[in-house]
Amino acid sequence: MAYFPFMIQLDDKQCLIVGGGAVAAWKAAQMCEFGACVTVVAPEICAELLAIADTERIDETAGIVENIDGNCQKKPERIRVWKREVTEADISGMDVVIMATDDAELNSQYAELCRSKHILVNVVDVKKDCDFYFPAIIKQGEVVVSVSTGGNSPMLASKIKKDIRQTLRTDYGQIADELGAIREKILAEEPDERARKRRFAAIVEAKMQEQRIRIGTRGSRLAQIQTDMVIEQLKKHYPDVRFEKVIVTTKGDKQKEAAISSFGGKAVFVEEIEEALLDGTIDLAVHSAKDMPNPCKKGLGIAGVLPRACVQDVLIYRADTDIRSKNTFTVGTGSLRRRSQIKEIYPQAECMELRGNVTTRIQKLRDGLYDAIILAAAGIERLGIEKEPDLVYEYLDVDAMLPAAGQGIIAMEACEGTLPYHMAETISDAETEGCLRAERAVVREMEAGCHEPIGVYATWKDDKTMQVRVMNARSGKVKREVWEREKEDANDLE
Q: Is 176 part of a structural domain of the chain?
A: no
Computed over every residue of the chain, the mean pLDDT equals: 87
Q: Which residues of 170-193 are buried (b: 16+ CB within 10 A; e: fewer)?
A: ebbebbbeeeeeebeeeeeeeeee
CA-closest candidate to residue 438, choices 479, 413, 466: 466
Tell me how far the alpha carbon of residue 282 is from its chain's centroid. Answer: 18
Q: Please check whether residues 105 and 205 belong to one and the same domain.
A: no
Q: Is 238 part of a structural domain of the chain?
A: yes
In this prediction, residue 69 carries a pLDDT of 35
Instruction: Dump pLDDT digits (tens) for 10-63.
Output: 988 999 999 999 999 999 988 988 989 999 999 999 888 887 764 433 444 333
Domain limit, last residue, from 134, 160, 180: 134
Q: Please check whether residues 432 and 387 belong to one and the same domain.
A: no
- Amino acid identity, position 168: L
Residues with a catalytic annotation lie at 291
Give the domain extent around 358.
313-395
Q: Please check whether residues 211 and 254 belong to one and the same domain.
A: yes
Q: Is 30 part of a structural domain of the chain?
A: yes
Q: Please check whether residues 201 and 297 belong to one and the same domain.
A: yes
Q: Is 166 part of a structural domain of the chain?
A: no
Q: Is 203 part of a structural domain of the chain?
A: yes
CATH number at residue 209: 3.40.190.10
DSSP E strands in 306-453: the ranges are 313-318, 329-332, 349-352, 372-376, 391-395, 410-415
φ, ψ (nearest 5 deg) of residue 268: -65, -15
Q: Is 400 part of a structural domain of the chain?
A: no
Q: Please check whether residues 121 and 32 belong to one and the same domain.
A: yes
Element (H, E) at 202: helix 193-209
- Per the CB < 8 A criterion, the answer to whether 328 and 346 are in contact is no
Least confident piece of the model among 209-218, 265-274, 299-308: 265-274
In this prediction, residue 251 carries a pLDDT of 66
Instruction: Dump pLDDT digits (tens) for 242-253.
Output: 899 999 987 655
How far is 35 from 129, CA to CA, in rounded Å?
A: 25
- Per the CB < 8 A criterion, the answer to whether 315 and 331 are in contact is yes
Tell me how far the alpha carbon of residue 29 is from its chain's centroid. Answer: 17
Map residue 406 onto helix, strand or coil.
coil
Q: Please check whether residues 379 and 448 belong to one and the same domain.
A: no
CATH number at residue 119: 3.40.50.720
Instruction: Dump pLDDT digits (tens) for 365-408.
Output: 999 999 999 999 999 999 999 999 999 999 999 999 999 999 99
How far is 312 from 378, CA to CA, in rounded Å?
A: 8
pTM: 0.65
Instruction: Dump pLDDT digits (tens) for 321-379.
Output: 888 888 899 999 989 999 999 999 999 999 999 988 898 999 999 999 999 999 999 99
φ, ψ (nearest 5 deg) of residue 161: -60, -45
Q: Please check whether residues 380 and 475 belong to one and the same domain.
A: no
Burial class (CB in 10 A: 0-12, 13-18, 19+), 44: exposed
How far is 106 from 112, CA to CA, in rounded Å?
A: 10
Q: Is 417 part of a structural domain of the chain?
A: no
Our count of domains for the chain comes to: 4
Q: Please check whether residues 391 and 457 belong to one and the same domain.
A: no
Residue 67 has pLDDT above 70, yes or no: no
